[in-house]
Amino acid sequence: MPYSFTDTLRPSSTRSRIYRALYDARDFCSRQTLARDCELSLPTVHQYLTELFQAGLVRYSGEERATGGRKAQGLDIVPDARIALGVSVTGHHLRLSAVDLRLEELAYRRESFELDAHLGRTDGAMAGILEEFLDDFHLDRKRLLGVGISIPGLISPDGRRISFAPTLGIRNAPLYPLIRGIDYPVHVENDGTASGHAESVVRRQKESLAYLSLEEGIGGAVLIDGLPYPGSGAKSGEFGHICVEPGGLRCSCGRCGCLEAYCSAARIESCFGVSLEEFFRGVEEHRPDYEALLFDMLRHLAIGINSIHMVLDCDVVLGGFLSEYLQPWLPALRQYVLAGNPFAENADFVQLSTLRRHITSLGAALFFVREFVTGV
């Protein structure tokens, strides 16, 4: 079973404040800094730091800075004191990431994994894949906080069912067959929500943003002052089903003209039967059919982005594995956005994710990282 911080430390709100302040520190941090920022006495800070040192959660950073007399010793958290696993579920694959407390990726694997509409074929299979992953990368189970799983679909309010996942062909299916046999704490959430929250955390700014996840399907998340906004029915951020072409291409949800039908990686596969890498190589080689599809995708993506921006008036951040290929085409996308937005002077609000690689699995792991950091 995973190792719990409560095995060695009794709960303390003061210690949590100190640890969180150290975790969030951007610059040099010392005992004096913590005492000032947490409004605590130096003896109190020293007491709780001693506990954190003994638990292996804090270390000296090796930095020193003159303060007018005696030099202050820098402090930092120990990032790999705990780890978390994140699993991104798609129609044909699992993407697994192990991360430390700073959300730095320690290991990654993409594994073939077939789902059926009732998840029956998956019964217990994911648990075995997770154990293999832990073994192959020599990951310490005693430091494992839990397994976060992201699903490209809506999760029921009680967290026990997949209400609707169009790209997976799943409606109202129990989650239990998927997670059966996993001998660690498990948390399941929507992939766009997980990715958007991870993007916000990595930016380390409590800003509002709309996160648009471009993968086999299209999802997203709304972050208000750095915190996910789920909406009244936990359906916020389903940007993939904004209509960008009335009566247009049929979407996996059953309607026509959705953003997902025009701008997902699945469209590229269905049109040409090639990988994203092969497609964008063809674009760079100026294959007319590949270029025509790319620019059609960019035009429709701009329509969706403008719809989001008109409502929320915040940065729109593009993530997911399709976004890994969009850097050369960002200026063209911004031009399309600007042409369709009567209020904008520029389209700098359209940005690419800070974490373009593996963000969905990293975001899935984030739940347990945040739970630990706030509960030490």
Residues 72 and 97 in one domain: no
Q: How many Å apart are CA 330 and CA 37, to the nearest integer?
A: 40
Please report whether residue 301 resides in a domain: yes
Model pLDDT for residues 117-138, shown as the tens digit of each residue: 667 667 788 999 999 999 999 9
Task: Pick left, alpha or beta for residue 68 (phi over 0 → left; psi -120 to 50 → alpha; otherwise beta).
Answer: left
Please report whether residue 173 resides in a domain: yes
Residue of higher predicted confidence among 70 and 333: 333
CA end-to-end span of the chain = 19
Which DSSP letter does residue 152 get?
A: S
Residues 166 and 37 in one domain: no
- How high is the pLDDT of residue 73? 87
Please report whether residue 256 resides in a domain: yes
Please report whether residue 269 resides in a domain: yes
Please report whether residue 305 resides in a domain: yes
- Across the beta sheet with 218-224, the strand order is 227-228, 218-224, 209-214, 315-319, 350-352
The residue among 77, 102, 126 that closes a domain is 77
Residues 72 and 28 in one domain: yes
Q: Among the listed ranges 62-66, 297-301, 310-314, which one has the minimum average pLDDT value?
A: 62-66
Please report whether residue 201 resides in a domain: no
DSSP string, 90-114: -SSEEEEEEE-TT--EEEEEEEE--
Please report whether residue 226 resides in a domain: yes
Domain at 128, CATH number: 3.30.420.40
Model pLDDT for residues 29-64, shown as the tens digit of each residue: 999 999 999 999 999 999 999 999 999 999 998 766
Q: How many Å apart are CA 21 and CA 373, to the nearest integer?
A: 10
The residue among 55, 77, 99 that closes a domain is 77
- 288-312 helix and 276-284 helix, angle to the nearest 10 degrees: 110
- The mean pLDDT of the chain is 91
In the numeric block, which tokens belong to residue 93? 């694959």
- Asked if 214 and 323 touch (Cβ cutoff 8 Å), the reply is yes
The winner for highest mean pLDDT among 82-96, 109-123, 131-145, 150-164 is 131-145
Residues 217 and 321 in one domain: yes
Residues 219 and 333 in one domain: yes
Residues 52 and 65 in one domain: yes
What's the whole-number mean pLDDT along residues 338-346? Answer: 94
Residues 162 and 271 in one domain: no
**CB crowding 26-61: b at 16 or more within 10 Å, else e:** eeebbbebbbebbebeeeebeebbebbeebebbeeb
Residues 366 and 263 in one domain: no
Please report whether residue 241 resides in a domain: yes
- How high is the pLDDT of residue 70? 66
Whether 234 shows a pLDDT value over 50: the answer reads: yes
Name the residue range of residue 249's domain.
Answer: 206-352
Whether 19 shows a pLDDT value over 50: the answer reads: yes
> Within 10 A of 242 (CB to CB), how many other CB atoms are there?
19
Question: Total structural domains in the chain?
Answer: 3
Domain at 47, CATH number: 1.10.10.10
The residue among 52, 77, 102 that closes a domain is 77
